[in-house]
A and B are shown apart, each in its own frame.
Chain A
Amino acid sequence: MRHFLPGTLLCASLIAAGPALADHCPSDTLSKLPEQLKDGGTAIAYQTNPAKIEVGKPSIEVVACVDGDKHMAPSRIRVDAGMPMHGHGMNYTPSERKISPGHSSFDGMVFHMPGHWQITFDVYEGDTRQRLTRKVSLKR
């Protein structure tokens, strides 16, 4: 824990972000995973297992980094998916296994229909959320 300097709001927020600051994003993993997404200061890489998503049950490994070149691990990652054209989500809620800060693997993804899916990655840094999406199309 750092020194506690009472009085300034700025400092309070620094303390809150303290543990995250210490953990750098595993940027080597980031470059290794095949699927890459970037939006502003947030970068994500992921891979599904099996690599080719089929109507069924893959798991997904996700690495996320926030804050551009500083490459910090986010405080939280959430993954979900849905079919925007059909107006529904998944029938399952993925569960997270943390591998290291900013690096997690999610089980319980079930793409239960063929067609156009959208995978949503919500990357949290404190209270701010950045949403990145990737479209995948599953064959019958």
Chain B
Amino acid sequence: MTLRRTACAALLAGATLLVTGAAHSTEIFDEDEVALILSHGPWPVKTDPDPSNRMSGKPAAIAYGKILFESNDLSIDRQRSCATCHQEALGFGDGIARGFGIARVDRNTPPLFNMRLNRWFGWDGKSDNLWAQSIAPILDARELGMTPEILKARLVETPNLADGYRDVFGAPLATHDAETAMVNVAKALAAFQETIVSGKSSFDRFRDALAAEDKAGIDAYPDPAKRGLKLFVGKGRCDLCHFGANFTNGEFHDIGMPHFPAPGRVDKGRYGGIQHLRKSRFNLLGPFNDDGLRATAGFTRHVRLTPKNWGEFRVPSLRNAALTAPYMHDGSKDTLADVVNHYSEIPEERLHQDGEKLLRPLHLSDAEKADLVAFLRTL
């Protein structure tokens, strides 16, 4: 009895504390800042099936896609799969600077969350759809090293993969040519990947509380994260590019990262991505788009190639950033603190002369840097 009453009193005291605490924490954001914060949600974002992929959202294709994603039979030496580089425990990345399959690739393995929200795929946006992006590693000699013909032969001789194919695509593998079979495999892989969606983060709960003016919820979000968020939407201007609910505008920018994967070899970034996109048979304007109306092909039809695309890379989503180290297209930043240091002391001479005028060194104090990192870790 007494015990319970004490507990009750303590709870009440807690409640009062929460209310006073809340008054303090809402004070740190003015009206404009609240609007900016709300623009990073709500989460999750509702998505529809991908019209370019008739398998999108189909349970049988999703299940088959998961088997394919984890199958070593998709690699020439039967030693690796998509899941070798995209490991669930590491946020569907691999935790190393640059992906390593049969050989090392030039870029960091990105996580595979929330793929339905992407307009472009790959750091250079060389694909305009998820199934085309899933074909690339199958054929890349450094990743899975296959050809369409070998892939088809592999599927034919592997009973569970051949049966799965027939069940999902409604026709025996033998009746499809090798290229069609490969595209179908990629569409099942895409259907599976689309189901990898990140849940509500601590930031999302804070944002919901802010929207609902729920003082207890607002107060539960740590103060360093709040201060970091204030920098993110304020003097950091991070949200010009890391925009909206997925913390990316889906486009390409040059933030002054070097782009020489090896001496004498240049990563063309977005410039090479557009070149590749335009000549790909697997783009949304090509014959494998399942949507006869080409309703989602507008970006591909209109994309503009200009010299400024050299050295531009896609703005990555920052969701689950704490899980996806190392960072940047080349994996050259080990920690979020390293990333924040980059923005703080950004080498102006590295920014293209006619490039991003909006970027300049922020010269953050150590305390500000720690706050920004604390915020990024809540995403």
**Chain A residues with Cβ under 8 A from B243's Cβ?**
55, 113-114, 140
Mask of B36-47 contacts with A, CB within 8 angstroms, 1/0: 100100000000
Contact check: which of B35, B241, B299, B358 meets A92 at CB < 8 Å?
A: B299
* Distance A90 CA – B251 CA, assembled complex (angstroms): 11
Which of B35, B240, B301, B304 meets A91, CB within 8 Å?
B304
Q: B272 CB to closest chain A CB, in angstroms?
A: 15
Residue interface mask A83-117, B partner, CB < 8 A = 1: 00111111111110000000000011010111100
Q: Does A71 sit within 8 A of B, measured CB to CB? A: no
Question: Within 8 Å of chain B (Cβ to Cβ): is A76?
Answer: no
| Chain B proximity of A31: nearest CB distance (Å) | 30
Taken residue by residue from 107 to 118, chain B's Cβ proximity to chain A (1 for < 8 Å, 0 otherwise) reads as 000000000000
List chain A residues, Cβ under 8 A from B301.
Answer: 95, 108
Q: Does A57 contact B (CB under 8 A)?
A: yes
| Distance from B184 Cβ to chain A, minimum over Cβ atoms (Å) | 30
Number of B residues near A (Cβ < 8 Å) is 26
Is B302 on the interface with A (CB-CB < 8 A)? Answer: yes
Check B356 against A86 for contact (C-beta < 8 Å). yes
Out of B35, B249, B303, name the residue touching A113 (CB < 8 Å).
B249
B137 near A: Cβ within 8 Å? no
- Flag if B39 contacts A140 (CB, 8 Å): yes
Compute how far the CA of A107 lies from the CA of B35 in the bound complex, rounded to whole angstroms: 30
Quick one: closest A residue to B359, CB to CB?
A86
Q: How far is the CA of A114 from the CA of B251 in the complex (A)?
A: 12
State which residues 234-262 of B face A: CB under 8 Å: 239-241, 243-244, 249-252
Q: How many A-B residue pairs have CB under 8 A?
A: 62
Tell me if A108 and B240 are in contact (CB < 8 A): no
Contacts of B321-379 to chain A: CB distance below 8 A: 354-358
Give the interface residue-count category, chain A: 20 to 34
Are B252 and A91 within 8 A (Cβ)? yes
Q: Is B298 an interface residue (CB 8 A)?
A: yes
With A85-B357, A86-B356: A94-B39 Cβ-Cβ less than 8 Å: no
- Tell whether, in the assembled complex, residue A92 and residue B303 are in contact, meaning their CB atoms are under 8 Å apart: yes
What chain A residues lie within 8 Å of B304 (beta carbons)?
A: 89-93
CA distance A91 to B302 in the complex (A): 8
Instruction: Tell me, in angstroms, the Cα distance from A34 to B302 when the chains sit together.
Output: 26
Bound complex: CA of A42 vs CA of B249, how far in Å? 35
B142 part of interface (Cβ distance < 8 Å): no
Interface string of B208-249 (1 = CB under 8 A from A): 000000000000000000000000010000011101100001
A88 to B164, CA, bound (A): 49
B239 CB contacts on chain A under 8 angstroms: 114, 140
> Which among A112, A115, A139 has the greatest number of chain B C-beta atoms within 10 A?
A112
CA distance A107 to B251 in the complex (A): 18
> A-contacting residues of B (Cβ < 8 Å)?
35-36, 39, 233, 239-241, 243-244, 249-252, 298-299, 301-304, 306, 308, 354-358
Q: List 16 A-B contacts (CB under 8 A).
A: A55-B243, A85-B357, A85-B358, A86-B356, A86-B357, A89-B304, A91-B303, A91-B304, A93-B303, A93-B304, A108-B301, A112-B249, A112-B251, A113-B243, A114-B240, A140-B233
Given A57-B299, A91-B251, output 10 extra A-B contacts at Cβ < 8 Å: A91-B252, A91-B304, A94-B302, A95-B302, A110-B302, A112-B250, A113-B240, A113-B251, A139-B35, A140-B243
